[in-house]
């Protein structure tokens, strides 16, 4: 049609464009062959008469529909679905052509028995979750086993269903059975989401349970020194007269320097003993003013009033008896 | 009665018969069908039928260049087309005999 295009009647061009648009979902080869003949036809008609083409042929869409119907081509709507499935087919072929796809698919195929067992577990777990909610759905003693009456019953149920599932997987099914299986598999694959969510929720709750918390506690020992649950950040010592002491060296009951474990701080004043060792246990800790080597208030302390102690000789009775303060030292009570 | 509905069923055999008579291009086949009395035949239907018969293997085709105007795609019948035509002709003749008998008998009553 190369040479004819130069002398195309405008009526032909317009009508042809309309027909072409109505065939635009067809495969390109089919479409071009059809349009070549349509153009030939339209040119013949235009050469015969000056009347508009539509008066003889109707609208381009009608012409195209008639052409498709008599040529055995699908109507436009169904054809676009066919075009979609053709596109999917092309994309699929392109993916399959990749060299890594086959080995990956083979590997996944070899994992099928694993899925057969997993979907058995999923089915029992899903029923358990739907039936009893996250809290009651899981066995407390057996991890990831759904609680069906008991954890053991749940385990047996999973095993029984898994056996059936494997048998189903090994059988060859007809097209109807296969379609049904695809549906069931899809539902169970989607069930992964609620089942795992429920499992993680139940597991998180178990961790918070006291019995588990006890075994958990020693894994994270508290650093430093605590008082009533709060970390101690400084220690102030007062003598019997109620005076704040400075640079008091403190040790624990086994002789280790008492360390508040506050970490490194360049502004903290460091003290050394006469042997050149750092004294980490001299309290209260003092801090320099930022950017200087000066402690602003060396006698700063907490807002407490410390009244002097009533003098009591060492080795006195341990019972704080306010009235009998002057009782004689007792040999029976060891001094602490 | 709407003859376009009747035409749908017999267009294949009609087109085969016309092409068997002599090779022809689309518009030529349309004109010959009309000249034979099938005035209601749709242009696009004839083109579509030619294409379908060709795709099914009942027709051959060849392009004839022309000096003025477009190239023409001619269709000719082949052995498979002839066989199909013979069978469809038989079916049609038996069917039309039956219909004629039925309708005439009805008219005589």
Predicted confidence band at B105 (pLDDT cuts at 50, 70, 90)? confident
User: DSSP assignment of A235-246, as one string?
Assistant: --EE-TTSPEE-
Model pLDDT for residues A18-37, shown as the tens digit of each residue:
999 999 888 888 899 899 99
Model pLDDT for residues B30-79, shown as the tens digit of each residue:
999 999 999 889 999 999 999 999 999 999 999 988 776 668 899 999 99
Predicted confidence band at A230 (pLDDT cuts at 50, 70, 90)? confident
This model of the complex carries an ipTM of 0.88
Is B8 or A326 the better-scoring residue by pLDDT?
A: B8
Residues A89, A92, A93: CA angle, nearest 5 degrees: 85
Is B88 or A261 the better-scoring residue by pLDDT?
A: B88
In chain A, what residues touch B50 (CB-CB under 8 Å)? 37
Specify burial of residue B98 (Cβ count, 10 A radius: 0-12, 13-18, 19+): exposed
Position A206 scores a pLDDT of 64
Model confidence at B80: pLDDT above 90: yes
Q: Are A231 and A224 in contact (CB under 8 A)?
A: yes
Position A303 scores a pLDDT of 85
Q: Would residue A245 be called left, alpha or beta, if left means φ above 0 and alpha means ψ between -120 and 50 degrees?
A: beta
Contact call for B72 and A34, based on CB within 8 A: no
SS3 of chain B: helix, strand, coil, percent, to 5:
65, 15, 20
Position A321 scores a pLDDT of 52
User: Domain-by-domain residue ranges, chain A?
Assistant: 4-73, 111-214, 223-301
What kind and span of H or E run contains A335?
none
Q: What is the mean pLDDT of chain B?
A: 90
User: Domain-by-domain residue ranges, chain B?
Assistant: 3-108
Model confidence at B4: pLDDT above 50: yes
Residue A257 per-residue DSSP state: B
Which of the residues B38, B67, B68, B70 would you substitute to probe the A interface, choosing the one with the greatest number of A C-beta atoms within 10 Å?
B70
Contact call for A41 and B51, based on CB within 8 A: no
Q: Residues B17-42: what's their mean pLDDT?
A: 93
Q: Residue written as tokens 């006195």?
A: A316
Q: Residues A173-199: what's their mean pLDDT?
A: 89
Q: What SS3 class is residue B77?
A: strand
Is A40 or B109 the better-scoring residue by pLDDT?
A: A40
Q: Residues A216-231: what's their mean pLDDT?
A: 68
Q: Give the architecture (CATH level 2) of B3-108.
A: Orthogonal Bundle (1.10)
Q: What is the dihedral of CA A225, A230, A233, A239, to 10 degrees?
A: -80
Considering only CB atoms, B47 lies closest to which of A1, A43, A67, namely A67
Q: What SS3 class is residue B65?
A: coil
Q: Would residue A291 be called left, alpha or beta, if left means φ above 0 and alpha means ψ between -120 and 50 degrees?
A: left
Residue A297 per-residue DSSP state: -
Model confidence at A214: pLDDT above 50: no
Contact call for A34 and B51, based on CB within 8 A: yes
Residue A73 per-residue DSSP state: P
Is A329 or A264 the better-scoring residue by pLDDT?
A: A264
Q: What is the mean pLDDT of chain A?
A: 82
Q: Which residues, in sequence order, are CB contacts of A148 under 8 Å at separation 6+?
A: A124, A128, A154, A157
Contact call for A43 and B26, based on CB within 8 A: no
Model pLDDT for residues A90-133, shown as the tens digit of each residue:
888 888 888 888 889 999 989 999 999 999 999 999 998 888 87
**Nearest residue of A to residue B9 by CA position?**
A70
Separation between Cα atoms, residue A176 and residue B84, nearest integer Å:
38
Please report the beta strands in chain A, taking only residues with DSSP state E, as ranges in sequence order: 226-227, 230-231, 237-238, 244-245, 248-249, 282-283
Separation between Cα atoms, residue A125 and residue A196, nearest integer Å:
9
Model confidence at B13: pLDDT above 90: yes
Percentage of chain B with pLDDT > 90?
73
Separation between Cα atoms, residue A317 and residue A323, nearest integer Å:
12
């Amino acid at each position: 049609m190369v040479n004819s295009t130069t002398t195309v009647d405008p009526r032909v061009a317009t009508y042809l464009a309309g027909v072409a648009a109505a065939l635009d979902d067809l495969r390109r080869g089919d479409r071009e062959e059809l349009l070549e003949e349509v153009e030939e036809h339209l040119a013949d008609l235009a050469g015969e008469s000056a009347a508009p083409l539509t008066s003889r042929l109707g609208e381009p869409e009608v012409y195209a529909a008639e052409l498709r119907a008599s040529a055995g081509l699908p109507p436009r709507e169904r054809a676009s679905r066919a075009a979609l499935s053709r596109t999917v087919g092309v994309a699929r072929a392109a993916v399959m052509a990749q060299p890594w796809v086959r080995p990956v698919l083979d590997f996944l195929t070899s994992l099928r028995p694993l899925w057969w067992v997993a979907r058995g577990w999923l089915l029992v777990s899903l029923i358990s979750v739907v039936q009893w909610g996250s809290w009651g759905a899981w066995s407390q003693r057996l991890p990831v086993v759904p609680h069906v009456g008991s954890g053991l019953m749940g385990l047996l149920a999973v095993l029984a269903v898994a056996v059936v599932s494997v048998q189903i997987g090994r059988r060859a099914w007809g097209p109807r059975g296969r379609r049904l299986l695809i549906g069931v598999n899809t539902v169970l694959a989607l069930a992964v989401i609620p089942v795992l969510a429920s499992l993680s929720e139940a597991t998180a709750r178990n961790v918070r349970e006291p019995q588990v918390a006890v075994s958990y506690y020693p894994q994270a020992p508290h650093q430093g020194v605590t008082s009533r649950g709060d970390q101690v950040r400084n220690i102030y010592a007062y003598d019997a007269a109620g005076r704040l002491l400075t640079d008091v060296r403190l040790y624990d009951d086994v002789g280790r320097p008492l360390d508040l474990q506050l970490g490194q701080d360049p502004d903290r004043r460091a003290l050394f003993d006469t042997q050149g060792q750092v004294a980490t246990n001299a309290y209260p800790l003092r801090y320099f003013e930022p950017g200087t080597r000066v402690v602003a208030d060396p006698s700063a302390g907490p807002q407490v009033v410390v009244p002097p102690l009533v003098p009591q000789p060492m080795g006195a009775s341990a019972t704080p008896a306010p009235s009998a303060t002057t009782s004689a030292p007792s040999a029976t009570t060891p001094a602490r | 009665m709407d003859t376009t509905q009747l035409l749908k069923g017999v267009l294949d055999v009609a087109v085969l018969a016309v092409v068997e008579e002599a090779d022809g291009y689309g518009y030529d086949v349309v004109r010959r069908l009309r000249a034979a009395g099938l005035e209601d035949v749709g242009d696009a239907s004839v083109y579509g039928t030619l294409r379908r018969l060709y795709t099914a293997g009942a027709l051959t085709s060849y392009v004839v260049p022309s000096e003025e105007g477009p190239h023409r795609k001619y269709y000719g019948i082949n052995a498979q087309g002839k066989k199909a035509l013979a069978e469809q002709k038989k079916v049609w003749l038996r069917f039309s005999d039956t219909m004629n008998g039925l309708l005439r008998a009805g008219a005589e009553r």
